[in-house]
Amino acid sequence: MLKVSKLSVSYAGAPIISDLSFEVPTATTLAITGPSGVGKSTVLQAICGLVRIAEGAIFIDDRDITQLPTHKRGIGMVTQSNDLFPHLTVSQNIAFGLRMRGTSPRETSDRVEELLELVGLPNFSLREIQTLSGGESRRIALARSLAPSPRILLLDEPFNGLDDEIRDALMHQVKSILQSSSMTSVLVTHDHSEADFLSSSSLALVP
Amino acid sequence: MTARRLLSFLPVGFVAVFLVLPFLNTVDTFFSVSNTRDVLSDPSMLRILWFSLWQAVLSVLATMIFAIPATWALSRFQFPGARLCRGLLTTPFVLPSIVVAAGVLAISQRTGVVSILWAHVVFNVAVVLRIVSPRWALLNPRYEQSAATLGASPWQTFTHIVWPNIRSAVNSAAALVFAYCFTSFGVISIVGGFSRRTIETEIFTQSVRLGNTDVAITLAVLQMIVVLLVFQISRPSLLQTTSTHVSSAPIPLHTKPRGRWIVLVSVVVPVIIVALPLVATLIRSVSYRGHISFHAWTTVFGGTLPQLTVSTWRVIVTSLLFSLATAILAVSLALIAAQQMGRQWFHYAEQHRILRFVTSLPLVVSAATLGLGIVITYNTDPFAWRSHTWLIPVIHALIALPVAIRILEPAVQAIPPSLRAGAALLGSSPWHTWLRIDIALLRPALLRSVGISAAISLGEFGVTSFLTRSNSTTVTMTISQLLGRPGALTQQSGYVLASLLIVLTVGVTSRA
Amino acid sequence: MKRLSVFIVAVASLAACTSSTSENVEKKPATVTLLAYDAFTPEEGIFDEFTNDTGITVKVVTGGDSGVLVSKAILTAGNPEGDVLWGVDNTMLSRAEQASLLTSYEPVNTGDICINADKEWFASSDIPIPTRLEDLVLPQYRGLLVTQDPVASSPGLGFLLGTIAHFGEGKWRAFWEALKGHVHIAPDWTTAYTVDFSGSSGNGKYPLVVSYGSSPPAEVLYADPSNPLTEPTTSVIESTCFRQTEYVGILRGTTNSVAAEALVMYLLGKKFQESMPLSLFVFPVNQEAVLPDLFVKFALRAKDPLTVSPQDIELNREKWLNEWRAILL
């Protein structure tokens, strides 16, 4: 379970988010919607510790993680910019989180194969990042964030910038992955149909 | 097409005329195999060689220890005072070594290896910062954030994500720092103490003090071989990842969730180390045996320099004209070279190797050898150039060329070829594409290389002191003249000129 | 367009300050080129009288310190960069002779390399200023002297030669062995005098320094005007003085020897000789030249200076330097 309590974030003195609280029960998906510029992504960045929070606390399964550095939080994130490492291959990208935890090479390569299957891109392991299409990149980014088995998955506009056809396919894929793995997740989107399709509850941020 | 081909030979031709030819001529005149055997079997010469090597390696390590964290902090984060810190860190590079060395000595109060390392760090942090920082800024911080969400600790993020992307820039900076420290003259001879001799100081001793030009040339050849080997080892691999990353603005420091103090320490410690000798210079310009006095400042600003017949303004104008001419010449040649190296077609590979090799030669040849080489090569009509004033900015440009290329080359390579194609599709002629796309995108890198070339010209002392001059004394030469005479006012005036150089450069570099 | 014009202005101004240098003297016999070291700073307008009398303009070109200047000139002996050379001293004269650098030469000035003492320091301590080289190894004078590396510095070399002249080939090594560990070796004059020495602008800790017999008047003349000095803060220890002589000569290969001879005559003449003390801080060789008051009062010209012949210096320099280094290391 993810709990955000009285979260406030400000930028250069101006509050972006003030006093926001919500809970995401285990194995459910919360959608955060709202117009652009309202601070949806900032909420996700605060949850995984990428921005400084002014006040409030974040709990995972009742444990306060507010003071933990990002890499110790066990939270995965997928964004619309993918951020695949350009100097690594597809499989090295997916294996990255596992290597950081010292997983054995054998176990790592099994897990990479498994994830490539899961996102429907078997045989992609040796591909260079520069050769991937937009949809492929997004699916590799998803596989990469799932590889270390995070307790929480944050999805920041994960279907943005994709063709309709690819987008629909990916939405179904994500839904089935979330359900089959009983993942707790937060989806940020400006698109209500995405929110309705994937989430069990939703939170609308207003300016 | 032929004009373009001709143009492409300019950088190589320039280095050939003003460096390769004089050097080969000197070697031809003085070098002998038996002499080399003598030098290599002389234990004191081997000690000199060994000391030159290890002090240079330690200097590179020391420089990196302070420069890498500072580069990270300054290319990643934005905070009040960041520009000033950057300016302070890049200033010493233009200062005459006599000023920095005297500053270090005034504080450390002792000669020896520690002072050598300190002075080398002071000079070379700027080199690392200038070469690595643009590459680091190209690395989008989102990669590091992704790594963190995947469970990578800050150290793992550095070794797995950041390092592979900045490695080639760090290598190239390290090789450059090694070359500077291995061939450093002013620093070693002032703060090294009389027991610390390097190849470069020995070249000077043998050729100038003892008249053993043949021994000096043997040492110069040895020194050249070592530096060339280091350049060969550190050569950036041809299979460099193409930089398709987009440059990103530094993050405001106050939004960083934690560890803000690490950023500040990373900058403040190097700044203190670099700034202390500069502060010592400022203090010397206003203090005389415990009293504070601004007379030297009013004297210098009044236009006169004690014991010298040349006026302050004349010296400053001469220096500025030389550095302007140096910058124009060095950056034009560097741009031609960088654009050629930027064309990544296979059949150019051999040509690139030659271009890269020849244009890094100015870092390899010792100042004393180059100075003597020019004197003995260009002394008869119609090439009696040795006492022409234009030779000074030309030689300064020669010395600035490798650095300017190292700044421009990554920037040229970072321009996606698709942009040029796109411009062509929109009807732009090659000339317009070059002007509107290449030059426009290269603007920051061009400005940086103009700045550093001008700076190199302002601070150059080694070769300039070998050239014959008439009414063309530079600020650097004047500082050394003033510090070389008795009289409180005279010496304070030397420190005033040095302080002026410092203040001017901090001002310019913290804006650019 | 704008950029182009900036470029043109830069090139034009550079060309203006280039304005043709030395080489083609035969085409312009009205000019004579004086080649000198960087520190050659004659009194302003001192050559005007020469030009008025002879119609010859003097062009001064400089190129490095005296070592660099003479080394360069020797490497291209016979094909000189100028007509007259100023600045070969007695430590380099023999080398210049061997290369037949000059067709004729004469002493033009002398200066003494002597130990200078910080008068205030000695006044506030119990010990008197030492008077002989031998004093320096006494316990009370240990660690008070800073000298220069004789390999890199000409006053350092002068002082070493002075000790060799004083103690003789047999005993100078013993003197330096006794001094070892009790003397500070600075890399050059600037560091020794302005950083390590306590009696000048620096705040160093050594009250004795190897410098020149003419350093005290320079301290007075170029004192900080807010702390003007009526007399120098330093004094010179006469018995330690080594005599340095500088020569002026006509460079072999000049096509302008008539003008060159005239210039040498002028440099040895009363007017120029009298200008040297306060512009170059050296003593004239012309007996008729009158010394300025400041020099009469505060500068020192040793009555019986230490000397070594240029031939001996040339013959033994490298050996002596290596021996000195072996002792001090």
Q: Work out the pLDDT band at B243, boundaries 50, 70, 90.
A: very low
Q: Please tell me whether residues C232 and C320 are part of one structural domain.
A: yes
Please tell me the distance from the alpha carbon of residue B225 to that of residue B366, in angstroms, as a whole number. 12
CA angle A87, A93, A97 (to 5 degrees): 125
Mark yes or no for CB contact B258/A52 under 8 Å: yes
Question: What is the gyration radius of the CA atoms in chain B, in angstroms?
Answer: 23
Q: Please tell me whether residues C192 and C317 are part of one structural domain.
A: yes
Tell me if C7 is assigned to some domain: no
The mean predicted confidence, pLDDT, of chain B is 85
**Mean pLDDT on A81-91:** 85
pLDDT at B400 over 90: yes
pLDDT in tens, B329-355: 999 999 999 888 876 554 566 777 788
Among residues C32, C217, C205, which one has the least CA distance to residue C111?
C217
Judge whether A99 is closer than 8 Å to chain B, CB to CB. Answer: yes
Question: From residue C39, how far is each of B416, B460, B479, B480, C42 by CA, in Å?
Answer: 54, 18, 12, 10, 9
Tell me if C318 is assigned to some domain: yes
pLDDT score for C22: 43
Tell me if B279 is assigned to some domain: yes
Tell me if B242 is assigned to some domain: no
Judge whether B165 is closer than 8 Å to chain A, CB to CB. Answer: yes
The mean predicted confidence, pLDDT, of chain A is 90
Tell me if B239 is assigned to some domain: no
pLDDT at B107 over 60: yes
Q: Please tell me whether residues C217 and C310 are part of one structural domain.
A: yes
pLDDT score for B421: 67
CA angle B154, B158, B161 (to 5 degrees): 115
Tell me if C57 is assigned to some domain: yes
pLDDT score for A20: 94
Closest by Cβ to C215, choosing from B380, B466, B486: B486
**Mean pLDDT on C136-156:** 92
pLDDT score for B470: 78
Domain that holds residue C272: 26-111+244-298
Mark yes or no for CB contact C10/B192 under 8 Å: no
Q: What is the dihedral of CA B149, B152, B157, B159, to 10 degrees?
A: -160
Tell me if B309 is assigned to some domain: yes
Kindly report the pTM of this predicted structure: 0.83
Q: Please tell me whether residues C320 and C225 are part of one structural domain.
A: yes
pLDDT at B303 over 90: no
Distance from CA of B79 to the nearest CA of A (A): 12
pLDDT score for B189: 83
pLDDT score for B125: 95
pLDDT at B239 over 70: no
- SS3 per residue for B54-71: HHHHHHHHHHHHHHHHHH
Distance from CA of A72 to the nearest CA of B (A): 6
Strand partners, C58: C32
Tell me if C9 is assigned to some domain: no
In chain B, the number of structural domains is 1
Domain that holds residue B408: 2-233+260-509
Shortest CA distance from B243: residue in chain A: A86
Tokens of C284: 């004239």
The mean predicted confidence, pLDDT, of chain C is 88
Chains near A (3 or more Cβ pairs under 8 Å): B
**Mean pLDDT on C296-305:** 93
Distance from CA of B61 to the nearest CA of A (A): 26
pLDDT score for B353: 78
Shortest CA distance from B251: residue in chain A: A51
Tell me if B250 is assigned to some domain: no
Task: Say how many C-beta atoms besides its own lie within 10 A of residue B272's C-beta.
Answer: 12
Task: Say how many C-beta atoms besides its own lie within 10 A of residue A175's C-beta.
Answer: 14
pLDDT score for B247: 52
Q: Please tell me whether residues C134 and C202 are part of one structural domain.
A: yes
A11 contacts A37 by C-beta, under 8 angstroms: no
* CATH code of the domain covering residue B99: 1.10.3720.10
Tokens of B435: 């002007």
Mark yes or no for CB contact B140/A83 under 8 Å: yes
Shortest CA distance from C232: residue in chain B: B487
Tell me if B470 is assigned to some domain: yes
Comparing B472 with B67, which gets the higher pLDDT? B67
Tell me if C179 is assigned to some domain: yes
Comparing B142 with C172, which gets the higher pLDDT? C172
Strand partners, C146: C184, C209
Q: Work out the pLDDT band at A87, boundaries 50, 70, 90.
A: confident
Q: Please tell me whether residues C224 and C131 are part of one structural domain.
A: yes
Q: Please tell me whether residues C40 and C58 are part of one structural domain.
A: yes
Tell me if B243 is assigned to some domain: no
Q: Please tell me whether residues C78 and C62 are part of one structural domain.
A: yes
**Mean pLDDT on C196-205:** 84
Comparing B108 with C319, which gets the higher pLDDT? C319
φ, ψ for residue B277, nearest 5 deg: -65, -30
pLDDT in tens, B24-57: 999 998 888 888 898 889 888 999 999 999 999 9
Q: Please tell me whether residues C319 and C200 are part of one structural domain.
A: yes
In chain C, the number of structural domains is 2
Tell me if C3 is assigned to some domain: no
Tokens of C256: 């302008």
Tokens of B82: 């960041």
pLDDT score for B346: 46
pLDDT score for A72: 84
What is the amino acid identity at position B479? Answer: I
pLDDT at C264 over 70: yes
Mark yes or no for CB contact C62/B106 under 8 Å: no
Question: From residue A41, how far is each of A15, A47, B77 by CA, in Å?
Answer: 14, 10, 21
B329 contacts B13 by C-beta, under 8 angstroms: no
Judge whether B161 is closer than 8 Å to chain C, CB to CB. Answer: no
pLDDT in tens, B306-317: 888 888 999 999
Lowest-confidence region among B264-268, B325-329, B429-433:
B429-433
Tell me if B241 is assigned to some domain: no
* CATH code of the domain covering residue C41: 3.40.190.10
Report the percent of chain B where pLDDT is more than 90: 30
Question: From residue B42, how far is each of B48, B215, B226, C263 by CA, in Å?
Answer: 10, 11, 18, 47
Q: Is the ipTM of this complex over 0.85?
A: no
Among residues A12, A22, A14, which one has the least CA distance to residue A205?
A22
Task: Say how many C-beta atoms besides its own lie within 10 A of residue B258's C-beta.
Answer: 12
pLDDT in tens, B447-474: 989 988 988 888 888 888 888 777 788 8
Q: Please tell me whether residues C85 and C123 are part of one structural domain.
A: no
pLDDT at B194 over 90: no
Tell me if C16 is assigned to some domain: no
Distance from CA of A91 to the nearest CA of B (A): 14
Q: Work out the pLDDT band at C244, boundaries 50, 70, 90.
A: very high
Q: Please tell me whether residues C205 and C123 are part of one structural domain.
A: yes
pLDDT score for B510: 67
φ, ψ for residue A10, nearest 5 deg: -130, 160
pLDDT score for C29: 54
**Mean pLDDT on A169-191:** 92
Please tell me the distance from the alpha carbon of residue C190 to that of residue C192, in angstroms, as a whole number. 6
pLDDT at C8 over 50: no
Report the percent of chain B where pLDDT is more than 70: 92
Closest by Cβ to B146, choosing from A83, A101, A150: A83
pLDDT score for C7: 38
pLDDT score for B348: 60
Strand partners, B266: none
Q: Please tell me whether residues C102 and C194 are part of one structural domain.
A: no
Quickly list H helices, B343-437.
Answer: 349-360, 367-377, 391-413, 417-425, 430-433
